[in-house]
Structure 1
Amino acid sequence: MTTSTQHSSNDQQVHVVLVPGFWLGAWAWDDVVPHLEAAGLAPHAVTLPGLDDARTDRSDLTREDHVQAVRDVIAPLEGDVVLVGHSGGGPVIHEVVDRDPARIRRAVYVDSGPLVDGASLAPDLPAGTVELPLPSWDELAAQGSSLDGVDEAGLARFRARAVPHPAGVAGGRVRVSDPARLDVPATAICTSLPAEMVEQMANPGPPLHTELGELDVTYVDLPTGHWPMFSRPADLATEIVRAARA
């Protein structure tokens, strides 16, 4: 696990922990981090276990490994903590909130959301699957992960740096149980779907299986595809700053 960090002697510093989705490391936030630093926040971009190198053994990694990795980033921080989760990183940060809700000032979901207890992002993986490689662009689009707004250079960088996602994490069941998790304020930055539509779909049933509707949520529209850190990084940073200061 690696992080990109700005240190501050100010105990009241607001720390923003950036958790990427499938196939991504801390590098995915490279164009967002400078804007957060310029706004006076302390960003910590996380590379979760198994996402550091294509040669890494991912066979035994679990959701709890990813949850604990984020908790390890938070543990030494002094001041307020805002969690940001993109895509598959959203359920991870929700599990982190569940483990210690009093420690988190706000959770920010970027084209993502908190899953209900027992839900899985990939419940139908074949037995013995160890990892999930980055699909083709057409396959991603068919799955609803729009690449709108990402230029050819961005796509090439994404393809070159993507790492297979651990199947044990993708197929693992979310575990949340502390009712206090629902008291932590949240922001939903809606990029693939309009905020109005996301709000209507924010219930425990299909297709989202989300607890978003049970939270104190601020919905924000940021129209683009599923990867705003690549397509609209400055605008995404602006919304993260607003959420961190809310």
Structure 2
Amino acid sequence: MDSIGSESYGRLMDVVLVPGFWLRGSSWDPVLPALRAAGHRVHALTLPGLESLDARRNGIGLRDHVDSVLATIDSIGEPVALVGHSGGGAIIHAAVDARPDRVRRAIYVDSGPLADGFLINDEMPTVGDDLPLPGWSAFSDSDLVDLDDRLRRHLREIAVPEPRGVAFDRQELSDERRYDVPVTVITCTFPSADMQAAIENGAVFTAELAKVHDYEIVDLPTGHWPQFTKPAELAEALVAALRER
């Protein structure tokens, strides 16, 4: 292991990156060079049903995506850091629940831990077993900050329909040791001060995060897809979150 990297960044680790809805592992490409330069080993996952437009999505549910992450964790054999963007946050939280002793830190990118019994999103329109990327009018203005016409075209070109079951299945959690795993939330569309206030006021959407014993909230003001709109800043925030405490 490179001694300079070790001194600069602390303990280096395997980082498992889980994309949000409609995205493959390649969506993380803009942040990979910085993570590798910091000495980390990166594993950017493409989850079941997202391999291509023609991939089978029938019968694929949330647990299949969680199991895919668990298989990666188990294959690595060392404690890992998990990074989940958007809907990927629910997936990594379930993986933390299943392997609390194997995760050093969970990082949620414009996302957060989804509590037991909740759904990721059952309000978006589906087509059979597919949940396609909807029109931009389905998103809030805050989601679309910095997502210019070029980036909108790019996102639509690379988007793959999400398996319907992933959005509509209920989260299943059972091990409260998940609250012992340190958490970083990189918030883009919701200021950290507002999120902290929501936690203090007992808001339902922050109830699970509030139970985590060691969490931090980091502001990265941009839209919901910072890996495209602010890749350098997101990479810097990820590297900082992975530094030894």
Q: Which residue of 1 aligns with 2:181?
A: 184
**TM-score, with structure 2 as normaliser:** 0.88
Partners of 1:178 and 1:236 in 2: CA distance: 30
Partners of 1:127 and 1:240 in 2: CA distance: 33
| Number of aligned positions between the proteins | 234
Q: Which residue of 1 aligns with 2:62?
A: 63
Does structure 2 retain, via aligned residues, the 8 Å contact 1:61–1:168? yes
CA 1:165–1:155: 2 relative to 1, 3 Å: same
Query: Is 1:165 matched with 2:162?
Result: yes
Shift of 1:203: 7.9
Partners of 1:244 and 1:22 in 2: CA distance: 24
Q: Which residue of 1 aligns with 2:197?
A: 200
Over the matched positions of the two proteins, sequence identity in percent amounts to: 44
Does structure 1 retain, via aligned residues, the 8 Å contact 2:17–2:83? yes
Q: Which residue of 2 aligns with 1:220?
A: 218
Does structure 2 retain, via aligned residues, the 8 Å contact 1:16–1:81? yes
Does structure 2 retain, via aligned residues, the 8 Å contact 1:202–1:211? no
CA 1:47–1:203: 2 relative to 1, 3 Å: farther
Partners of 2:190 and 2:154 in 1: CA distance: 25
Partners of 2:171 and 2:203 in 1: CA distance: 15
Q: Which residue of 2 aligns with 1:73?
A: 72
CA 1:96–1:69: 2 relative to 1, 3 Å: same
Partners of 1:185 and 1:96 in 2: CA distance: 14
Unaligned runs of 5+ in 2: 1-5
Shift of 1:152: 2.8
Shift of 1:26: 0.7
Shift of 1:124: 5.3
Shift of 1:233: 0.8
Q: Which residue of 2 aligns with 1:37?
A: 36
Shift of 1:156: 1.5
Partners of 1:222 and 1:35 in 2: CA distance: 17
Q: Which residue of 1 aligns with 2:102?
A: 103
Shift of 1:171: 0.5
Does structure 2 retain, via aligned residues, the 8 Å contact 1:13–1:80? no
Shift of 1:127: 9.6
Q: Which residue of 2 aligns with 1:153?
A: 150
Does structure 1 retain, via aligned residues, the 8 Å contact 2:125–2:134? no
Shift of 1:205: 7.0
Does structure 2 retain, via aligned residues, the 8 Å contact 1:199–1:213? no
Shift of 1:242: 1.2
Q: Secondary structure at the match of 1:50?
A: coil
Shift of 1:80: 3.4
CA 1:121–1:205: 2 relative to 1, 3 Å: farther
Q: Secondary structure at the match of 1:101?
A: coil
| Structure 1 range deviating more: 180-189 or 78-87 | 78-87
| Structure 1 range deviating more: 71-80 or 38-47 | 71-80
Q: Which residue of 2 aligns with 1:4?
A: none
Unaligned runs of 5+ in 1: 1-9
Higher helix share: 2
Q: Secondary structure at the match of 1:17?
A: strand
CA RMSD of aligned residues (A): 2.3
1:102 partner letter:
D
CA 1:175–1:209: 2 relative to 1, 3 Å: farther
**TM-score, with structure 1 as normaliser:** 0.88
| Structure 1 range deviating more: 126-135 or 20-29 | 126-135
Does structure 2 retain, via aligned residues, the 8 Å contact 1:82–1:104? yes
CA 1:166–1:37: 2 relative to 1, 3 Å: same
1:141 partner letter:
S
Q: Which residue of 1 aligns with 2:235?
A: 237
